[in-house]
Amino acid sequence: MRFEDSKYSKRFTYKKEVFSFGTLYVTEQFLLSEINEGVHVDINIATELISRFNDHIMKGVKIGYIANRYNSYSFDPQLWVDFNNEYDIFVAAAIVTYSNFSYLNASLEKEFFSKSLKRCKSLDEAVEWILDLNEFKIEANQN
């Protein structure tokens, strides 16, 4: 299920960012990606994303990341290592998989991500898991 077809697109205020390789949705709690079919996510795409969200990164914003992988595409798992070493924006990540192959790829990526990474079978599972993270509960209690 695409984010804009889900109940969450009505529940959250979000900013939609469209790139040649896919679409990102930015909410206060998470960044959600929907990458186009057949794309290979590499350092060039990562660099473009980092430059677009540099303001968030520089402000020390902490959010969750959801990869909604209803399209088939490849991802260089080494990017997680590089990203974790350079930036500290994500408190955790969830990967929504729609096939066994996608689930296996997410399992491989889990080995490269230094924080908590959950493999999910639905967008609902991913969003609810991100929202249930202690980092967001503490933040909500302080407001």
Every domain of the chain and the residues it spans: 3-142
> Does residue 61 have a pLDDT over 60?
yes
Report pLDDT digits (tens) over 72-109: 998 888 888 877 777 778 889 999 999 998 898 889 88
Range with the poorest average pLDDT among 21-30, 55-64, 117-126: 55-64
Question: What is the structure's pLDDT at 57?
Answer: 65
> Does residue 138 have a pLDDT over 60?
no
Question: What is the structure's pLDDT at 58?
Answer: 67
Question: What is the structure's pLDDT at 118?
Answer: 95
User: Per-residue confidence at 21, pLDDT binned at 50, 70, 90?
Assistant: very high
Distance, CA of 125 to CA of 61 (rounded, Å): 23
Q: Could you confirm whether domain 3-142 is CATH 3.30.750?
A: yes
Between 107 and 59, where is the model more confident?
Answer: 107
143 token code pair: 């407001």
Do 40 and 76 form a contact (C-beta atoms < 8 A)?
Answer: yes
Distance, CA of 40 to CA of 95 (rounded, Å): 16
Dump strand ranges (E) for the chain: 15-19, 22-26, 30-35, 40-41, 63-68, 74-75, 90-96, 116-120
Contacts of 46 (CB under 8 A, 6+ apart): 79, 82, 83
pTM for the model stands at 0.88
Contacts of 63 (CB under 8 A, 6+ apart): 26, 27, 28, 29, 30, 31, 56, 89, 90, 91
At 45, which amino acid appears? I
> Does residue 22 have a pLDDT over 60?
yes
Strand 63-68 with 90-96, pairing: parallel
Per-residue pLDDT, averaged over 15-40, amounts to 94
User: Per-residue confidence at 140, pLDDT binned at 50, 70, 90?
Assistant: very low
